[in-house]
Amino acid sequence: MGAGLYFGEFAIALGSSRFDWRDLAGRVALLLVSYAAFMVLQRFVNRVAVLRRASLSINLFVLSLLILLLLSPQLGELHVAILPGVIVAAIFLAITIALQFLDVVVFTWSARWQRTAPVPIVIRDIGRWLLGVLALVLLVRGFFPGANLNVLAVSSLVVGYVVGNATQDTLGNLIAGVALNAERPFHIGDWVTVSGHTGVVVDTTWRATRLRTRMEDYIAIPNSSIAKEPILNYSRPTPCHGCTLEVGVSYEAPPNKVRTTLFAVLAGLSQVRKAPEPRVYLRTFGDSAMTFVIKFFIDDYEDLDVIQSLVMDRVWYAFKREGIVIPFPIRDVRLRDGRTDEAQQAADELAAKRQLLEGVDLLRSLSPDEMGRLAAAVSSEPFAVGESLVRQGEPGDTFYVVRSGRVVALAVQSDGSEVPVAHLGSGAFFGEMALLTGEPRSATIRAETDAVVLAVSKAQFAGLLLGNPGLAKRLAEVIETRHADRRAKVDAKVVADAVSAAREPVLDRIRRFFGLA
Ligand code: CMP
């Protein structure tokens, strides 16, 4: 009955001589201009995220307000139900906007202030929609007391069925989204692999779960796909994550030496967890190499790439120092001439070492013979930036001369922090204190850039001390100066401990330690 009658009433109203067409045209024009002005304004307002989320509701609300303001008399004349209908729409939209603001304040902001996980979007949306429907029913009842809500409910069911059939996938995603939120196999901020994609969970909406990948891209995976597939969560039950790396090593290297070197590398990296303990396995005897598998644990999956690369870097440097070769199946064709000859290379290397040692003030008193023997005996060891060459408190019997790069000497304060006491570049030496007195290392030496050092063993040094009586005296002076310098830079408690530990003059300690007269 209704529709036919309404059209009839419209037609009568529009056709009646009472209807002022010019007034209506003016009002409609004003409405369009005002609405256009609002749309321009809304482009700026939408920069605020909260307002952007509610932008459709705000837009419709403003439109309904403009209609009420400018067209009320005409609408009233058209049909009695239109004006209340627009009022109901305006109030409903106002409630929708208010609910959206409330949602942001209660769930997003308060979660941020209290540092708790935000309530999932799907749950919040369901709550908001239920409240919205309730408000709509109450409004319809209030403004249209005679309206039959059963008709509304039945027609909603029919519409729901039709829409539901047409949007089966969407409903599947919605239900999967609710199930995911109830089961919670992951939380926002977790690192996961789902449907073959790895990333950090950004959010779960009605349709999909969004991940931010390592390439800083977003990928939205439909909730129904996630519900069907295994989910690998790297952040739970704890963020601790195990990684494995493989490294091929020449058959010349004894496996135990390789294992010790790899363990030392892992122990020297603060990013590698001490527990669970790192493991090293010899996996295969291949065509040209033995393959070792390194297994270690890190604190956070997010840092995986960086830490794996760091471990590989350090393995390269450590292998180089230990003379462990990583074979590579590359056909290396070289045209040899006099300069690239191996003997010539060795001679160049020896000359370079000798030149460096001759530049060290402390060693000036060495005879040419002694200098030659020393240059031939020292080994050249590369270190990566950030690596510790010696550690404070550890025993040590090697003396070092910096060949290239720069290192820093760090003293540990009483609160455990490290303070730099000296920066040492090419030609500077360190490690003399522990070597000459037998005491633990007085500082940690760390590479500030990639660095290469010449290492002199205790036996080599003992020979030099015996042949050069003045050397021990000069070294004792250096040690006294460095001790004083170090004392000036560390806190009072460390100074007090050092003073009480070292009562004997340095020169006497050196002589006693090396059995010198
Ligand atoms: P050693 O104690 O064997 O190991 C740490 C080294 O750091 C130490 O020998 C010195 O060579 C060096 N070192 C300690 N304090 C200073 C300093 N104040 N200036 C320069 N080098 C230092």
CA of residue 485 to ligand 1 center, whole Å: 10
Which has the minimum average pLDDT: 40-49, 67-76, 396-405? 40-49
What is the pLDDT, as a whole number, of residue 326?
93
Ranked by mean pLDDT, the top range of 118-132, 161-175, 278-292 is 278-292
**Does residue 266 sit in the same domain as residue 223?**
no
Same-domain pairing of 111 and 73: yes
The answer to whether residue 155 sits within a structural domain is no
The radius of gyration computed from the CA coordinates of the chain, to the nearest angstrom, equals 40
Q: What is the pLDDT of residue 498?
A: 63
Which residue type is seen at 512?
R
> Which residue's CA is the nearest one to ligand 1's atom 17?
482
pLDDT confidence of residue 3: 43
Predicted confidence band of residue 123 (pLDDT cuts 50, 70, 90): confident
CATH number where 265 lies: 3.30.70.100
Q: Which residue has its alpha carbon closest to ligand 1 atom 7? A: 443
Q: Ligand 1 centroid vs 121 CA: distance in angstroms? A: 59
Residue type, 297: F
Phi and psi of 71, rounded to 5°?
-115, 10
| Whole-number pLDDT of residue 502 | 58
For the ranges 5-9, 303-307, 366-370, 470-474, which has the lowest average pLDDT? 5-9
pLDDT of residue 349: 93
> Both 33 and 64 in a single domain?
yes
Same domain for 259 and 227, yes or no, is no
Q: Rounded mean pLDDT of the chain?
A: 86
How do residues 104-118 score in pLDDT, each as one tens digit? Answer: 888 877 777 777 766
pLDDT score, position 121: 73
Last residue of a domain, one of 290, 322, 354: 322
Range of the domain at 85: 2-147
pLDDT at 21 > cutoff 50: yes
Question: Which of these three, 233, 251, 282, is where a domain ends?
Answer: 233
Specify the pLDDT at position 417: 92
The response to whether residue 179 sits with its C-beta less than 6 Å from ligand 1 reads no
Helix, strand, coil content of the chain in percent (nearest 5): 55, 20, 25
The pLDDT of residue 383: 95
| Cα–Cα distance for residue pair 140/162, rounded to 1 Å | 24
Q: Domain count of the chain?
A: 4
Q: Are residues 208 and 285 in the same domain?
A: no
2 — pLDDT class (breaks 50, 70, 90)? very low
Instruction: Give the residue carrying structure tokens 């009568």.
Output: 12
Q: Is the CB of residue 175 below 6 angstroms from any atom belonging to ligand 1?
A: no
Mean pLDDT of 484-513: 77
* Cβ of 431 less than 6 Å from ligand 1: yes
**Does some domain include residue 251?**
yes
Residue 281 is assigned to a structural domain of this protein: yes
Give the residue carrying structure tokens 């010899």: 282
pLDDT greater than 50 at residue 77 = yes
Q: What is the pLDDT of residues 132-168, one digit of tens each?
A: 889 988 998 888 887 777 766 766 666 766 665 555 5
Angle at 67 between CA 61 and CA 72, to 5 degrees: 130
What residues form DSSP beta bridges with 142?
A: none
Asked if residue 231 lies in contact with residue 290, where contact means CB atoms within 8 angstroms, the answer is: no
Distance 486 CA to ligand 1 centre (A): 8
Ligand 1 centroid, distance to 354 Cα (angstroms): 23
Q: Whose CA is nearest to atom 6 of ligand 1?
A: 431
In angstroms, rounded to a whole number, what is the distance separating the alpha carbons of residues 440 and 467?
A: 26
What pLDDT was estimated at residue 182?
A: 65
Q: What is the pLDDT of residue 412?
A: 92
Nearest CA residue ID for atom 14, ligand 1: 443
Average pLDDT over residues 210-234: 92
Predicted local distance difference test score (pLDDT) of residue 13: 55
**Is the whole model's pTM more than 0.75, yes or no?**
no
Same domain? 96 vs 37: yes
pLDDT 10s digits, 34-60: 988 988 888 888 777 777 778 888 889
Q: Are residues 113 and 196 in the same domain?
A: no
Axis-axis angle for helices 55-78, 82-103 (nearest 10) = 170
Report how far ligand 1's centroid is from the alpha carbon of 514 (Å).
19
Q: How far is the CA of 434 from the centre of ligand 1 (A)?
A: 9
Q: Which of 436, 442, 481 to mutate to test the pocket of ligand 1 (most atoms within 8 A of CB)?
A: 442
Residue 227's domain is classified under what CATH number?
2.30.30.60
Residue 221 belongs to some domain of the structure: yes
| Domain shared by 474 and 429, yes or no | yes
> Measuring CA to CA, which residue among 156, 134, 160, 138 is closest to residue 147?
138
- Residue 409 Cα, ligand 1 centroid: separation in angstroms? 6
The atom of ligand 1 lying closest to the CA of 444 is 5
For residue 485 and ligand 1, the question of a CB distance below 6 A is answered with yes
pLDDT: which is higher, 20 or 97 = 97
In terms of domains, do 225 and 254 share one? no
Query: Does the C-beta of 453 come closer than 6 Å to ligand 1?
Result: no
Report yes or no on 311 lying in a domain.
yes
- Same structural domain for residues 253 and 383? no
392 and 430, same domain (yes or no): yes
| Domain finish residue from 147, 180, 203 | 147
Strands (E), 226-340: 231-233, 241-249, 279-285, 290-298
Does 250 lie in the same domain as 226? no
| 381 ligand 1 Cβ < 6 A | no
Residue 151 confidence (pLDDT): 66
CA of 430 to the centre of ligand 1 (A): 6
CA angle 451, 403, 400 (to 5 degrees): 90
Looking at the domain assignment, is residue 157 inside a domain?
no
Q: Output the CA 371–ligand 1 centroid distance in Å.
A: 23
Q: Residues 200, 190: contact at Cβ < 8 Å? A: yes
Which of 433, 436, 446 most suits a substitution to test ligand 1, by most atoms within 8 Å of the C-beta?
433
326: nearest Cα among 362, 291, 354, 293: 291
State the virtual CA torsion across 58, 62, 67, 69 in degrees, nearest 10. Answer: 140
What's the pLDDT tens digit per position in 367-400?
A: 999 999 999 999 999 999 999 999 999 999 999 9
Please state, in angstroms and rounded to a whole number, the distance separating the CA atoms of residues 465 and 456: 13
Tens digits of residue pLDDT in 453-483: 999 999 898 888 888 888 888 999 999 999 8
Q: Ligand 1 pocket, 422 CB below 6 A?
A: yes
Q: Flag whether 404 is in a domain.
A: yes
Does residue 346 sit within a domain?
Answer: no
Dump pLDDT digits (tens) for 264-282. 999 999 999 999 999 999 9
